Structure 1
Amino acid sequence: MSSAARGRRLVASTRILIDEARLGRVQKQDRIATGVLTAIVAIVMLIVVSMVAYILFEGISTLFQPGFLTQPARANGTQGGVLYQLFDSFYLLLITLGISVPISLGGAVFLVEYAPDGPIRDIASTAIETLSSLPSIVVGMFGFLVFSVQLGWKYSIISGAVALTMFNIPILVRVIQQALEDVPQAQRDACLAMGLTRWEATLHILIPEAMPAIVTGIVLSAGRVFGEAAALLFTSGMSSPVRLNFLSFNLSSPTCAWNVFRPGESLAVHIYKIYGEGSPEAQQIVWGTAALLMICVLLFNVVARIVGKQLARRMTAE
């Protein structure tokens, strides 16, 4: 074998050794990174599971007490159940979504499909980001000054719902905007090539295509709205009527459950109000209400995943 061949062979062997050493370092780094990320995820899961388990452990016995879900609160909330608070929470959520979903859908469609690149889109995006970063208690104070005082709505369901709408809109706009942007551009081009207008393409093709992500985002935002407290302290108030009539549709009556101009107390606000009470009965109701609120929020997350997967599977099948 010539010296040149031996030299080439030596160089090749050296390269193999270097590549093996480099591969070993890369594999070691990969194992370290995998271990660190696994530990981080495990810590987060441990914190969440511990918090949920502790709240359920403390409140599950109260939650299953007779009348806790079917009776109104008594003695300033330290006795009785949380029937009215549970109803007010869902009623606030229903009104909030009824206002915020159409507005958010329209805003997202405008930003994605109609707003030209330039100052208009930049200003709208900045306004949405600013509104989404406001603390909820600031939104509540604004709602109190504008809706409760200036408009004369006082402490009422509608004041709380509009305040909740203010910080729910930017969340939904971002979710719907991302869902629409994920629709392939080829589908837009195909619709326009077939003679459809931009509005027809948006209404009949783009929105149905993005519907799984849109519905998932709406349900997840519903969980956040359902557990909100700070904004409602200044708008819907910390009290519910002594008696609510669910069968009455006299919307001007203070005892009509469907009257949006009556005060309403959500589950989260109810926890805040009676937490400072020193009696053992009050503490039991606090933990029972916290467990109920936790279960409801978890159900929102589970429903969001199930509905999103079902809609995605149906859209894929079609």
Structure 2
Amino acid sequence: MNSKVADRIATGVFIAIAAIIVSVLVGLFSYILYHGLNIVTLDFITKPSSNIRAGGGIRDQLFNSFYILFITMLITVPLGIGGGIYMAEYAKPGKITNAIRSCIEVLASLPSIVIGMFGLLMFVNLTGWGNTILGGALALTVFNLPVMVRVSEDAIRTVPRDQKEASLALGITHWHTVKTILIPSAFPSILTGAILASGRVFGEAAALLFTAGLSTPRLDYGNWNPFAANSPLNIFRPAETLAVHIWSVNTQGLIPDVEDVSNGSAAVLIISVLIFNLMARWIGSIIHKKITATK
């Protein structure tokens, strides 16, 4: 077999693999949207859910999903970027650094159900909080932090070394070089990683089953006092997210339109995750062009 034939075979194999991946994705999206889009209406999105009668919506679950996402990323992003900076710029090669890197890789490979059990022990039972938004956000931080650290580290390492050396040659301190040269240059990749990580958080269910809970108190959207029991902003209240809601209505089966609610919720969830991924590419591309002055 000559090299040209081998090259054509390899090209065909890779094209076939890409086609399979795209087909699976398109088929999955098409199936979910076909069964769920006809359920998604303004009332469905803006009405509260009902556990005993038909016609309930997903208002509270949708708000809870975005709120837990916001709290999680508020904790994850600073810690993840700080960890990435340390691993890329300050960690010296050796046993301690290798141990830290191994811990990060182990955390990244843990199943979400294990993170949920850890969150149940640490953020529910040990603290005495019970099922809370804060407990769910902290559990998801443990789940997402290794990914954020690796993304930040890789983004900083890909910055051309000449930029760092030129800054240090001018007498600028290491930290100032990191702050003014490395982080701005790596920011598009870090931002893309953060938005992709937020998509994972939005669709997570297993870890939240044990930490944020399966119920939501009756919320008063006119009361924005974060310390009130019925306030949407109260981080110490239980909160059923959209992904957990899909699991809950299917397992309990108490409402007569369980299939419609499940299909509609799945469609809203998949659209939200898709928007996060598209935003990652779009925002990252715009910021990269502004920073690097490319067209």
With structure 1 as the length reference, what TM-score do the two structures score? 0.89
Residue of structure 2 in register with 1:75 after alignment: 51
- The answer to whether the 8 A contact 2:192-2:281 is kept is yes
Question: 2:173 and 2:7 mapped to 1: Cα distance?
Answer: 51
- The answer to whether the 8 A contact 1:78-1:274 is kept is no
Paired residue for 1:246, among 221, 236, 253? 221
- The answer to whether the 8 A contact 1:93-1:226 is kept is yes
Question: 1:233 and 1:78 mapped to 2: Cα distance?
Answer: 24
Residue of structure 1 in register with 2:63 after alignment: 87
Structure 2 unaligned spans of 5+: none
- The answer to whether the 8 A contact 1:158-1:260 is kept is yes
Count, aligned residues: 293
Report Cα offsets for 1:261-308 as digits up to 9, x if no partner. Answer: 000011100000001317651110000000000000000000000011
Give the aligned CA root-mean-square deviation in angstroms: 1.4
- The answer to whether the 8 A contact 2:212-2:240 is kept is yes
Structure number with larger C-alpha Rg: 1
Query: One-letter code of the match for 1:49?
Result: V
Offset at residue 186 of structure 1 (A): 1.2
Paired residue for 2:88, among 112, 115, 124? 112
Question: 1:85 and 1:78 mapped to 2: Cα distance?
Answer: 17
Query: One-letter code of the match for 1:304?
Result: A
Offset at residue 184 of structure 1 (A): 1.2
Structure 1 unaligned spans of 5+: 1-21
| Stretches (4+) displaced over 6 A | none
Query: One-letter code of the match for 2:214?
Result: M
Offset at residue 167 of structure 1 (A): 1.2
- The answer to whether the 8 A contact 1:92-1:157 is kept is yes
3-state SS of paired residue (1:62): coil
CA 1:310–1:218: 2 relative to 1, 3 Å: same
Question: 1:210 and 1:190 mapped to 2: Cα distance?
Answer: 17
Offset at residue 312 of structure 1 (A): 1.1
Residue of structure 2 in register with 1:42 after alignment: 19
With structure 2 as the length reference, what TM-score do the two structures score? 0.96
Residue 222 in 1 paired to residue 214 in 2? no
Offset at residue 120 of structure 1 (A): 2.2
Question: 1:113 and 1:78 mapped to 2: Cα distance?
Answer: 57
Question: 1:275 and 1:122 mapped to 2: Cα distance?
Answer: 44
Mapping for residues 82-161 of structure 1, pairs under 5 Å: 82-161=58-137
Offset at residue 250 of structure 1 (A): 3.1
Offset at residue 77 of structure 1 (A): 8.1
Tell me which moved more, 69-78 or 203-212.
69-78
Mapping for residues 199-214 of structure 1, pairs under 5 Å: 199-214=175-190
Residue of structure 1 in register with 2:30 after alignment: 53
3-state SS of paired residue (2:21): helix
- The answer to whether the 8 A contact 2:199-2:277 is kept is yes
Question: 1:147 and 1:220 mapped to 2: Cα distance?
Answer: 25
Residue of structure 2 in register with 1:172 after alignment: 148
3-state SS of paired residue (1:74): coil
Query: One-letter code of the match for 2:6?
Result: Q
Question: 2:54 and 2:138 mapped to 1: Cα distance?
Answer: 29
Report Cα offsets for 1:223-252 as digits up to 9, x if no partner. Answer: 0000000000000001111x2122313333
Question: 2:118 and 2:45 mapped to 1: Cα distance?
Answer: 33
Question: 1:233 and 1:305 mapped to 2: Cα distance?
Answer: 31
